[in-house]
Chain A
Amino acid sequence: MKLEAKIPSGPLADKWASYKDHAALVSPANKRKHTIIIVGTGLAGGGAAAALGELGYKVKAFCYQDSARRAHSVGAQGGINAAKNYQNDGDTVFRLFYDTIKGGDFRSREANTYRLAEISNEIIDQCVAQGVPFGREYSGYLANRTFGGAQVSRTFYARGQTGQQLLLGAYNSLNAQVNAGNVDVFERTEMLDLIVIDGVARGIVVRDMVSGEISSHFGDAVLLCTGGYSNVFYLSTSAKGCNGSAIWRAYKKGAAFANPSFTQIHPTCIPHAGDYQSKLTLMSESLRNDGRVWVPKKTGDNRPAIEIPEDERDYYLERIYPSFGNMVPRDVASRNAKNVCDEGRGVGPTGRAVYLDFASAIERLGVDVIRDRYGNLFEMYEMIIDEDPYENPMMIYPAPHYTMGGLWVDYDLMSNIPGLFVLGEANFSDHGANRLGASALMQGLADGFFVIPNTLGPYIAKGKHPDVDPSCAEVKEAEKGAKDLIEKLLKVNGTKTVTHFHRELGITMIDKCGMARSEEGLNEAIEKIRKLKKEFWSDVKVLGVGESLNQELEKAGRVADYFDLAELMCLDALRRKESCGGHFREEYKTEEGEARRDDENFCHVTVWEHMGEDQAPQAHKEELEFEYVELTQRSYK
């Protein structure tokens, strides 16, 4: 497998500029002749559709939701980073780049991450122009807040709904292009397969989720902007419909999958309550700005939080990490929460929760300031838990949230299949082994609005491929495969629901391939996953028909893919015999219990190649070269 990252030469800070200086262009008259297929309409996909529409390409955008505005970028709460240095607190593009690459535990590409930091400023300008009502000071200037893993205040926000507002901005731009006739949006349409002809991505097979009709769409390039696969854990902060099927089916068609085991467990979520639970609700990381995390010092202390005196509380993040305190990166915060709960000091009905306490912030700033900053989050918490967080400390626990791993892409965001581009969370490129808060929105918008408009051109400029013959073997085969899968799922007619299998898979994954992993556990997990998969194919019950709206069928197709994806995640976690970022192997830790990287042997991206159904996938390496940052033991102490 050829993995060429195609990083431009020259000094880090000049790479992107020099790339743009020399990139081949497509004339406006020729852009019109090219159709670009975009799957997913979140910040990356919606932004790309809008930006490419503006450039004059013919764009077809697909989403499974009933509106492009509902893509799960909408769920991001806290904010978006940019190196504007509006606070005069010493922020620079390099510092944002450095924080991001350090936050990712030195497992991402320097050039990609630097470009992300560089573009961050343009993103804020663009969003303001689109009408995103960011929080402001009384003076009318933009306001900032601080996020985890940073010592500067560089996060822009729109109350606790930053993702929603940014997505609306992108969606509005997308709509302008729909109105202009440059973009067609296909809602309630799910991608079932990628069409590869002569080794080049030429289209997709989709299912109309209302009529059940299977059809194919062709174009000159396919952009997958389908987000992450956290739902492999069943319970996660992702929307219920989020799934990994688009990238997974592309993987089966030859696209390489990079670092599948790099997943992020977000530290501040509402704890799990019962078996019926369908998802976990995120509470913005911004809460850690003013909330203090603690558990009782004694194990099994069942007193209500407010009755535990100050000297019997363990503010463990402040104790262990005095310089970052409660603002340590997500992986560190999550792992420590797990550790104190494992020690038996967890709180709440299940003992799997820690306190996030606002008492001292309320005392210092007054309840009105806290309400102004976090009012909607507090309301949401009270609605779910039925307890007033102004009076009692909140209870939080980590939950699967983001997947740093994804399809492998080069500097152009193109996968190893020519013509197949992967943007946003769906690719692997910018966050290494852990993503810092407020940088997912940044990456989605950077990829969609600013990177792909520049990097698609050189591919298109190479020349137009002949039109796809809809009756060619590759198309027929892809369509048949999609139809066969549906038929196969409907035919099993067993006794257990799809959700049953998904839940079981999730339990295994979070237990063995979640916040802490070990060789023994991972091997056990692989065993279990294989067994579960077998059981699924002999005992799942999917009612109804394929030719109508059938939500169970949709779920079944996604869960079927999760078994294989879960196995690959475990294989990847097994192979990476080091701890880094969100990937924590019990066997590889420092004496203090922190993650111990092995730069000697694992300073690379693991890139997996599909070798065929029921065949072991093959691992390749893309070595990571660091010219501008020094690999250090990540310390937030």
Chain B
Amino acid sequence: MKLTLEIWRQKDANDKGHFETYELDNVSTHMSFLEMLDVLNEDLIEKGEEPVAFDHDCREAICGTCGFVINGVAHGHMKRNTVCQLHMRNFKDGDHLVLEPWRAKAFPMVRDLIVDRSAFERIQRAGGYISARTGSAPDANSILIPKDQAEAAMDFAECIGCGACVASCPNGAAMLFVGARIAHLAFLPQGQPERAERAKAMVAAMEQEGFGACTNYTSCEATCPKGISIVGIAKMNKDYFNAKLFSGGNLGGKD
């Protein structure tokens, strides 16, 4: 099939950037979206034009590296998908597709469709962990976790950190990502000791990065490749509220 691609090209963070249009023939319906771009890039190189830079790695929808906006939708129109597992059979002959990078102040441009998501790193480093010193863990079965609770934790742990939630939020908010990270650990008994501190630290870090606020558009949930639920956001709100107003760290009354 034939496609028209309108792709954002930007050499580096200082470049202004512009759209470039490419016509593509002979796109196989079995290709993934990224394989289609591979073919485009091969053609460009052979013609002596610089290929389109895009982030990708595992191509199995698990590493969270890839992602851009296709016709206004993060990772394209198919639900629970990443661009690496989005197949061309979901498009029609003659489609005109506009490809743009994730756009957010907290995700500065790197090149073409690549942005810098290190804001996510800083948020996770602020407290998105359980401090479990190696070697000090008790036997794995010494703390039982009800199956539904473990499953709930897993539902949020599935987040791949791709940034689609930010990209598709009209407010440019990172709530779903941070909510998922907080909810994952909040559902587990092992996560309780640092729960309040974690919520405070991660939210504070998130706010510093310049993400927008949540106004419950819910488009994050709709475009999340892993279908993470906004229940995670509620959980984060509650943990943050409780941590900030009712508990002083873990000592109650002292901060």
Contacts and interface: CB of A to CB of B under 8 A. Distances in A.
Interface of A: 50-51, 54, 65-70, 72, 74-75, 84, 86, 122, 124-131, 133-142, 158-159, 161, 163-165, 168, 171-173, 175-176, 178-179, 185, 187, 210, 239-241, 273-274, 276-279, 281-282, 379-380, 383-384, 386, 449-450, 453, 495-497, 499-500, 541, 543-544, 548-549, 551-552
Contacts of B140: 84, 124-125, 127-128, 134, 142
Contacts of A173: 129, 132, 134
Interface size grouping (class) on chain B: 35 or more
A239 B50 CA distance: 23
28 contacts: A65-B63, A65-B65, A68-B121, A69-B161, A70-B161, A75-B58, A75-B62, A86-B141, A129-B130, A129-B132, A130-B190, A131-B157, A131-B184, A133-B151, A136-B145, A140-B144, A158-B157, A164-B62, A185-B121, A240-B56, A241-B57, A276-B38, A278-B35, A383-B85, A541-B46, A543-B49, A544-B50, A549-B53
B131 interface: yes
User: Lowest 4 A-B CB distances belong to which pairs?
Assistant: A140-B144, A172-B129, A129-B137, A129-B132
B182 to A, nearest CB: 12
A499 B81 contact: no
B65 A179 contact: no
A66 B190 contact: no
Given A51-B134, A67-B121, A549-B110, A239 B57 contact: yes
Interface in B136-172: 136-141, 143-147, 150-151, 153-154, 157-158, 160-161
A383 B90 CA distance: 10
Contacts of B121: 67-68, 175, 185, 187
Interface of B: 11-12, 28, 30-32, 34-36, 38-39, 42, 45-46, 48-51, 53, 55-65, 80-81, 85, 87, 89, 110-111, 114, 116-118, 120-121, 124-141, 143-147, 150-151, 153-154, 157-158, 160-161, 184-185, 187-188, 190-191
Contacts of B38: 276, 278, 499
B126 to A, nearest CB: 7
Given A179-B126, A497-B42, A133 B154 contact: yes
Contact of B147 (A131, A137, A171, A449): A137
Contacts of B128: 172, 175
Given A125-B137, A172-B129, A172-B130, 7 more contacts: A70-B65, A126-B132, A134-B140, A135-B150, A136-B150, A164-B158, A175-B125
A497 B44 CA distance: 10
Contacts of A165: 154, 157
A138 B60 CA distance: 30
A522 to B, nearest CB: 30
Contacts of A278: 32, 34-35, 38, 59
A86 B142 CA distance: 12
B224 to A, nearest CB: 14
A50 B53 contact: no
Given A72-B63, A278-B34, A128 B143 contact: yes
Given A136-B150, A173-B132, A551-B53, A499 B42 contact: yes
Main secondary structure of the interface of B (DSSP, over half): loop
B48 to A, nearest CB: 7
Contacts of A128: 137, 140, 143, 190
B190 A131 contact: yes
A120 B231 CA distance: 35
A131 B191 contact: yes
Contacts of A240: 56-59
A129 B125 contact: no
Contacts of B42: 497, 499-500
A152 B210 CA distance: 52
A383 B118 contact: no
B75 to A, nearest CB: 12
B147 A125 contact: no
Contacts of B30: 273-274
Contacts of B145: 136, 140
